[in-house]
Structure 1
């Protein structure tokens, strides 16, 4: 049996499975452009009969989904349009778009005019956006290693998360049934979950880590924590629950700003360490691949002079924190 015969038999076997498949025919074809450009995304609205198409010409064209009639186009972006969506609260005729030009723009599909612009910054790209929050007016945008938040009602930026991802944030989505929960994904391979109720900052998130360093058990409280870290040197104490057994919770303590690389060892200042724990307010000690030995203080002891780090480090400005957070000096 030669190769041609074998190929004929393979095609014949495959075609038998196609015969039972549902056949679909092309109803209509719309030529969106007459150059070398192409279609990026198609979006539609459940409330209005309009089909939106984003093109590589940095424009959005609008059509009738039933007849293919061309309505008009929205022009204004100076970079690649990464996402379009009819998702603005109480604005059925408005479509939103984000682009490599660092903007999120809103367009009125009846007039094809731009009605709003939010800017992420000259050096930022916006790859994805999503509306959510408790009021539905919180806009999240996935950018270059950052997640930005705006209040859609006044256009003001209300938060910036810059420590959760280390590469482009390509998708952000609020969970439909839990609008205060935001999920993000990035080129760094991490999938992160945020709670946007209350103050939005990186303190409210360390749901994903790159590695585990150690476990810590407290005899006094009869509690167990697993200690995980990120490649940038942030550590989190994740509680292990008894009911249900073995479930890892959100971090109860986050150690940030001391290390610039992988942390190899953690020594908690518990009663089992005798004299070491007698230093009031000391949370523990850490060491890592950056060659640093860090001593950590609890937030309520931040003014004490017993906290130190073994090498020079430029600290970030102190932020208001809603969760237990520890910093070296």
Structure 2
């Protein structure tokens, strides 16, 4: 299924096929903007999870279209959600909240409130039991909640972006790398899992920094065959990781609807760690479906002639795409042309960013933009 949140605070469920998307049902129950949406990564894949600025986190049964679980915090807005097994997490103003789905009622399991000073725009669980939280205060915090929820015991690292964190994603075979999109549309790449390991030397594990990511992506598009479809890059949608090729793509969009997959070519150093990255010319562009800004793009497996992608836009359209050219093959071609790649994102910084006995607490280090996440 495909779940799409829309501007009237409902969720529409679609059944994809090779030819179209068929509307299955609508989920109604939120009283305000839906801020995050996902299918449950647990033994109940038919559960749809949604958070809202009305202060609720809801687990829906997609088979019946009804609410199966509902959690609420009064007087607060929820900006993001994530799940791991029986635990739900949500980001709110300066806090990360947790619920145990095995416990009936609305009782909080725990909260982390000693790290962020502003809105928590993203929370994401890692399979190891760590949770990453990003905020408009410019920090991404890493906590290991696999055994405890005590702030002092579970804090592992703070990644200081010095900019509002709008969105991030975990990628790589072990989920150990991190892409970050900020409020000013800069893009940062980290080996976040290595920076939680005190036995790994060599700095803060940021290996690429694109402060002008939108402009660099625009230059890459202008130099490619996609120039006729994407005459300029007006905004960034996010990133997509292609597992078969182990490649990351920046998703760059034009106000009239087209979206390009811009390869980010990563380079490893002699020690095996990531050392730098550069953008190359787009390998795929989705055009002809939307006529306005695309807010979200997800690739979801293979169709008969390539990966299937689904997009949702401000034009009230949800589009299903078959990418005719395999992303993996296209990424390999981009890698072969790496010497002609666009501007680089710089090399690894040399500032330790893992926790130590006398390090400054992350809540004392700010500098991000004070900006709420855009609804999508």
| TM-score, normalisation: structure 2 | 0.44
Separation (CA, whole Å) in 2 of partners of 1:74 and 1:42: 15
Name the CA shift for 1:250/1:71 in 2 (closer, same or farther; >3 Å): same
1:115 to 109, 114, 122: 109
Map 1:1-329; keep pairs closer than 5 Å. Answer: 22=20, 24-25=22-23, 27-33=24-30, 37-45=32-40, 47-48=43-44, 49-76=46-73, 78-86=75-83, 88=84, 91=85, 93-99=86-92, 101-110=93-102, 111-112=104-105, 113-121=107-115, 123-132=117-126, 136-143=128-135, 144-153=137-146, 154-155=148-149, 156-162=154-160, 165-200=161-196, 203-208=204-209, 210=211, 251=347, 254=350
Deviation, structure 1 residue 29: 3.6
Q: Measure the CA separation in 2 of the matches of 1:23 and 1:138.
A: 35
Q: Which residue of 2 aligns with 1:293?
A: none
**SS, match of residue 81 in structure 1:** coil
Question: How far does residue 136 in structure 1 lie from its aligned partner after superposition?
Answer: 1.7
SS at match of 1:85: strand
Alpha-carbon separation, structure 2, partners of 1:32 and 1:68? 11
The aligned counterpart of 2:16 is: none
The answer for the alignment partner of 2:10 in structure 1 is none
- CA 1:41/1:123 → structure 2, altered by over 3 Å: closer, same or farther? closer
Q: Distance in 2 between matches of 1:166 and 1:122?
A: 13
Could you tell me how far apart the structure 2 residues matched to 1:253 and 1:53 are?
Answer: 37
Q: How many angstroms apart in 1 are the aligned matches of 2:348 and 2:138?
A: 24
Q: Which runs of 5+ in 2 are unaligned?
A: 1-18, 197-201, 213-274, 279-337, 353-357, 361-376
Q: CA deviation at 1:53?
A: 2.7
Given the superposition, is the C-alpha separation of residues 104 and 202 from structure 1 closer, same or farther in structure 2, using an over 3 Å criterion? farther
Q: Secondary structure at the match of 1:24?
A: strand
| Deviation for aligned residue 1:161 | 1.9
Q: Distance in 2 between matches of 1:29 and 1:127?
A: 25
Partner Cα separation in structure 1 for residue 163 and residue 116 of structure 2 = 17
In structure 2, the CA distance between the partners of 1:177 and 1:255, relative to structure 1 (3 Å rule), is closer
* Distance change (3 Å), C-alpha of 1:246 and 1:44: closer
Once the two structures are TM-superposed, the CA of residue 254 in structure 1 deviates from its matched residue by: 4.7
Kindly state the Cα deviation for residue 66 of structure 1 after the two structures are TM-superposed. Answer: 0.9
**Unpaired runs of at least 5, structure 1:** 1-20, 212-236, 257-317, 321-329
Cα distance change on mapping 1:76 and 1:193 into 2, 3 Å: same
SS of residue paired to 2:184:
coil
User: Normalization by structure 1: what TM-score?
Assistant: 0.50
Q: Which has the higher contact order (CA 8 A, sep 6+)?
A: 2
- Stretches of 4+ moved more than 4 A in 1? 237-240, 244-250, 252-256
Q: Is the 8 A contact 1:136 1:179 kept in 2?
A: no
Report the alpha carbon displacement of residue 146 of structure 1 after superposing the two structures with TM: 1.2
**Aligned residue in 1 for 2:226:** none
Q: Go from structure 1 to structure 2 and tell me whether the alpha carbon gap of 1:125 and 1:239 turns closer, same or farther (over 3 Å shift).
A: closer
CA distances 1:284-308 after superposition (whole Å, capped 9, x unpaired): xxxxxxxxxxxxxxxxxxxxxxxxx
How many pairs are equivalent? 200
Rounded Cα–Cα distance in structure 2 between residues aligned with 1:196 and 1:166: 16
- Mark the CA change 1:145 to 1:239 in structure 2 (over 3 Å): closer, same or farther: closer
Distance 1:148 1:188 in 2: 20
Aligned counterparts of 2:71 and 2:124: Cα–Cα separation in 1: 20
Contact 1:184-1:193 within 8 A present in 2 as well: yes
SS at match of 1:203: coil
Change (3 A) 1:75 1:65: same
Cα offset, 1:109, TM superposition? 2.9
RMSD: 3.8
Deviation at 1:187, TM superposition (A): 0.8
Matched residue of 1:66: which SS? coil
